[in-house]
Amino acid sequence: MKRIGFLSFGNWSAARGSQSRTAADTLLQTIELAVAAEEIGIDNASVRVHHFAPQLSSPFPLLSAMGARTSRIELGTGVIDMRYENPLYMAEEAAVVDLISGGRLQLGVSRGSPEPALNGAHAFGYRPADGSDDADLAREKAAIFRAAIDGAAVVRSDPRTTGVSQPLAVQPQSPGLAHRIWWGSGTRASAKWVGEQGMNLQSSTLLTEDSGVPFDQLQAEQIQIFRQAWADAGHDWEPRVSVSRSVLPITSDIDRLYFGREGDADQVGYLDGGMARFGRTYSGEPDVIAAALAADAAVQAADTVLLTVPNQLGVDYNARLLQTIASHIAPAFGWVPPAERALQPTV
């Protein structure tokens, strides 16, 4: 069953035409867009997390507010950079958001992406141990976090105050959250590791490798490797897979002014020490985009498609964009609105 969601980078600036001129604008508008998206029938409202930049950086208070204002839509991140996190405190915060939202948190984590700060996590007090690197640090913290949300004891009680010595887990706990953790993967090798570890897979519009094939085919191969690794590991539940796409339907003169460019295609470049392949932007008439996404191998292989939104154009513009996608594009690649989905017979 296909799901669709929006993914906001949460940019703000005082540039001409920006509707998100301050951090407060962006935060409040993200909450309002989640409300509007739920009314449209969108399945997921997700936010990017970046540090030392005029973008969203502290997701848990924002997700709590989104959860308090909505009742159905999933709430996600894509992704939290684990290098910056205290995994036990993060486990408490994630459980609080999940409880407030009634079990709707879909939490994407990873090593993070290239950033403006040089060794930014070091300023937060976190450095890799001798002989390890940033990727090792992120994976180690993720393991501690996952154990904590699954109820593992992380400390013993103090018998001087409790009268006993017994194992203690972080509180609160939110049952089921452990199966709603996603790892943001940018390569086929890391996708295999995600499948082995038993996390859901997030794949964005960027892969930090290139084999010469179109982006959607390379990403579909990444998904296949993940699912095979999952099956080989013998996990006893069904994973989910999301991919991100930049989808900008043109239905008005203002859309054409912003996004009416031609000839968009995959891009290949050098990033973070190696070659990378960037997926195309789907811009044009809705029927043309619908046909292209229906033929996108990775969109077909995934169960969730996250649509990046130009958040600085404001809530009204992005709500209209999401409505166009929901009405005229997403059904072509297998999405069914929640109201209709509820009427379908279960197998």
Among residues 255, 249, 244, which one has the least CA distance to residue 306?
A: 244
Contacting residues for 233 by C-beta, under 8 A, at least 6 apart: 195, 196, 198
Q: What is the pLDDT of residue 271?
A: 74
Regarding beta strands 167-168 and 155-156, do their DSSP bridges make them parallel or antiparallel, or are they unpaired? Answer: antiparallel
Cα–Cα distances (Å) from 81 to 13, 48, 129, 137, 223, in that order, read: 23, 10, 17, 10, 21
* Under 8 Å between Cβ of 148 and 91: yes
* Under 8 Å between Cβ of 62 and 29: no
Among residues 84, 111, 72, which one has the least CA distance to residue 204?
A: 111
Which residue carries 């507010």 as its tokens? 65
Q: What is the pLDDT of residue 262?
A: 58
Q: What is the pLDDT of residue 251?
A: 96
Query: What is the CA angle 314-317-323, rounded to 5?
Result: 130
Per-residue pLDDT of the chain (347 residues; tens, 9 = 90+): 899 999 999 999 999 999 999 999 999 999 999 999 999 999 999 999 999 999 999 999 999 999 999 999 999 999 999 999 999 999 999 999 999 999 999 999 999 887 899 999 999 999 999 999 999 999 999 999 999 999 999 999 999 999 999 999 999 999 999 999 999 999 999 999 999 999 999 999 989 898 999 999 999 999 999 999 999 999 999 999 999 999 999 999 999 999 987 557 888 887 767 778 888 899 999 999 999 999 999 999 999 999 999 999 999 999 999 999 999 999 999 999 998 988 877 65
Q: What is the pLDDT of residue 269?
A: 84
Cα–Cα distances (Å) from 85 to 190, 204, 325, in that order, read: 20, 21, 35
Query: Which two three-digit tokens encode residue 230?
Result: 């999952």
Which residue carries 């450095």 as its tokens? 127
Regarding beta strands 105-110 and 167-168, do their DSSP bridges make them parallel or antiparallel, or are they unpaired? Answer: unpaired
Query: Which two three-digit tokens encode residue 138?
Result: 């992120």
